[in-house]
A and B are shown apart, each in its own frame.
Chain A
């Protein structure tokens, strides 16, 4: 079946550090891949997505590239800020029209210290 494996947290970094959160997936065919972010006390928000191999999703300084050869979708940011402190979820979407579902990783809690 479909599954997503995420880097275990928590991750603590200093402001302006480089961030990588690893994500690998198992799925048949060509899933769409997503990163969602959950800020304290809020629901999940879509951060970025990629729908086919070699696509790069980007938003708010975050980037992730869909690597089919390594079945990975690692999240990166060159210089993190305190406001990036949140829980990050990698997810994939598979299924045919009317039956698509998201499969989430376990989440990685990121804390940025000033």
Chain B
């Protein structure tokens, strides 16, 4: 069981470039989330998904798009990167179920630097 994995681990982009961050989980979880972590601000929710084919906006969705074509994958896209998107991005997942969904499982993070 790999848990939640993220690709790539680190990336440098120039302003205006695009890229896709991949999150994969092998736990058959229904829910998946993308967060960004910035100094002094904790984690903020960008987008999330409650099932295959569904996505919803979180707290800070502007400048990002997501897709959940397969249950195990949740992609985060930056169409035109900006320096303000320099951050560490975390993916998380949790199962659907009254008790177990309390716990979110996090990936190791992707560090993105936009110049």
Interface residues of A (CB under 8 A from B): 4, 6, 32, 34, 36, 41-46, 49, 51, 89, 93, 98-102, 104-107
Contacts and interface: CB of A to CB of B under 8 A. Distances in A.
Interface residues of B, number: 20
B75 to A, nearest CB: 18
Nearest to A98: B50
Contacts of B106: 36, 43-45
B42 A105 contact: yes
Dominant secondary structure at the A interface: strand
26 contacts: A6-B42, A34-B102, A41-B108, A43-B90, A43-B92, A43-B106, A43-B107, A43-B108, A43-B109, A44-B92, A44-B104, A46-B103, A89-B42, A89-B43, A93-B102, A100-B101, A101-B45, A101-B58, A102-B43, A102-B104, A104-B42, A104-B43, A105-B42, A106-B41, A106-B42, A107-B42
A53 to B, nearest CB: 16
B4 interface: yes
A101 B58 CA distance: 9
Nearest to A4: B42
Contacts of B43: 44, 89, 102, 104
B86 to A, nearest CB: 18
B34 interface: no
B74 interface: no
B102 A101 contact: no
Q: Which of B41, B44, B101, B106 neighbours the largest number of chain A CB atoms within 10 Å of its CB? A: B106
